[in-house]
């Protein structure tokens, strides 16, 4: 419920700011909100499994650890896409700019990218005491290199970058989750 409130309030504030300054603010601000949503959803991934002590049950499942990681990433993707579409809808309504829906293809690819990153960050720091600080930092570190591609709205290049990072992180996930 808190994340849905965040989506509503942030879209209202961004739309208001775009009326006061420039309309060019909408696209970057929309993607910043998606990053915040990803940080929120990462706490529902491996961190919560660790807190509830169910991570050990996941490790005992007769499936590969990369499948567990991909399932957690898919769950994060569903949450991010749902909340992101609400953000997009609210932002379009509040700013009266329905051209924002042209961002949908890049938004979907970015949602998958950020879901994989947030699941990896959650898995990486699930044993750490400083997770509330580390998760946003890890998500930020992995988001900075793709900002230019994201803002160019180049879906094909961004899809290839997402595919590369997904393969790399999925390959690393068994080593992170075995710890």
Q: Exposed e or buried b for every residue in 151-173, given b needs 16+ CB within 10 A?
A: eeeebeebbebbeebbeebbeeb
Cα(148)–Cα(130) distance, integer angstroms: 30
Question: Which pLDDT score, from 0 to 100, does residue 23 have?
Answer: 63
Q: Is residue 6 part of a domain?
A: no
Average pLDDT over residues 45-63: 80
pTM for this entry: 0.89
Average pLDDT over residues 96-104: 89
Residue 87 near residue 104 (C-beta atoms within 8 A):
no
Question: Which pLDDT score, from 0 to 100, does residue 150 have?
Answer: 86
Q: Is residue 69 part of a domain?
A: yes
**pLDDT for 55 beyond 70:** yes
Q: Is residue 17 part of a domain?
A: no
User: pLDDT, tens digit, for every residue of 137-173?
Assistant: 999 999 998 988 888 889 999 999 999 999 999 999 8
Question: Which pLDDT score, from 0 to 100, does residue 22 have?
Answer: 66
16-20, 66-70, 132-136: the lowest-pLDDT one? 16-20
Q: Is residue 169 part of a domain?
A: yes
| Number of domain units in the chain | 1
Q: Is residue 91 part of a domain?
A: no
Q: Is residue 172 part of a domain?
A: yes
Can you give the residue range of the structural domain that contains 133?
27-86+96-177
């Amino acid at each position: 419920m808190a994340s849905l409130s965040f989506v509503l309030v942030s879209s209202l504030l961004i739309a208001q700011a775009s009326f006061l300054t420039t309309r060019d603010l909408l696209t970057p601000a929309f993607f910043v909100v998606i990053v915040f949503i990803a940080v929120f959803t990462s706490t529902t991934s491996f961190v919560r499994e660790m807190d509830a002590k169910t991570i050990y049950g996941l490790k005992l499942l007769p499936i590969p650890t990369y499948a567990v990681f991909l399932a957690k990433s898919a769950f994060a993707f569903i949450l991010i896409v749902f909340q992101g579409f609400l953000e997009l809808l609210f932002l379009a309504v509040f700013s009266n700019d329905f051209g924002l829906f042209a961002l949908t293809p890049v938004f979907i690819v970015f949602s998958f990218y950020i879901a994989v990153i947030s699941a990896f960050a959650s898995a990486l720091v699930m044993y750490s005491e400083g997770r509330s600080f580390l998760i946003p930092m890890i998500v930020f570190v992995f988001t900075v290199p793709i900002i230019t591609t994201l803002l160019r709205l180049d879906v094909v290049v961004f899809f290839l970058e997402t595919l590369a990072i997904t393969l790399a992180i999925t390959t690393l996930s068994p080593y992170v989750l075995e710890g």
